Structure 1
Amino acid sequence: MNLLQIEYSDELKNDIESLKSDLAEIKLNLQPKEPTKYLGRKEVAEMLDVNISTVHNWTARGILTALQIGGRIYYRKKNVEAALIELKK
């Protein structure tokens, strides 16, 4: 093997690694997204084991973010879960 073949081989290896990385990213982006789950006030209260008035108070204080359509109030499940704060020991 001469010097030109070694350089070409290294360049080819780098290109292959780059393609592998690009394909992995594309594959990740093609994964089906989980649909957004919406919860009513009662469902949020049950989920957090609190009263509906507590859910209302947390919404008024900005702890929970509510969505409205017509006269109905909904919460994104992922936002409710994100509002929970992990306690440090």
Structure 2
Amino acid sequence: MAQIQFIGTTPQELQNQISGEIKTQLEDFLKNFAPKQPNDYLTRKQVSEMFDVDISTVANWQKSGKLRPLGISGRVYFLRSEVEASLTPLNG
């Protein structure tokens, strides 16, 4: 088996250099890592309860384009993130 010798470097110095490089790589990874959040879907009823409005108001928001509906098999859903993003600040 071949041996590698490091002249002028102690085992502790080598370990510190390797640990430092690994730490740097992990820090770079964590800066750029953004886990994908699962989508949270709401029904018309849940949206109406969320804002304490009638379901007809949710339908009006949908028709006016304030909310973008998604559907499957005749059921209507809204992405929670899009519903929350549709809120606008009030000046007052």
Same fold (TM over 0.5): yes
1:26 aligns with one of 12, 29, 34: 29
Q: Distance in 2 between matches of 1:68 and 1:31?
A: 28
Identity %: 46
Greater Cα radius of gyration, structure 1 or 2: 2
Matched, 1:36 2:39: yes
Q: Give the paired residue count.
A: 71
Matched, 1:52 2:55: yes
SS of residue matched to 1:56: helix
Give 1:78's aligned residue.
81
Give me the TM-score of the superposition, normalised by structure 1: 0.68
Q: Distance in 1 between matches of 2:28 and 2:60?
A: 42
Decide which structure has greater helix share: 1
Structure 1's consecutive aligned runs of 4 or more residues displaced over 2 angstroms after TM superposition are 22-26, 28-33
Give me the TM-score of the superposition, normalised by structure 2: 0.66
Give the gaps of 5 or more residues in structure 2.
1-23
Give the gaps of 5 or more residues in structure 1.
1-19
For residue 85 of structure 2, what is the amino acid of its counterpart? A
Matched, 1:63 2:63: no
Q: Deviations over 1:53-86 (max 9, x none)?
A: 0000110010111001111000000100011101
Shift of 1:30: 3.0
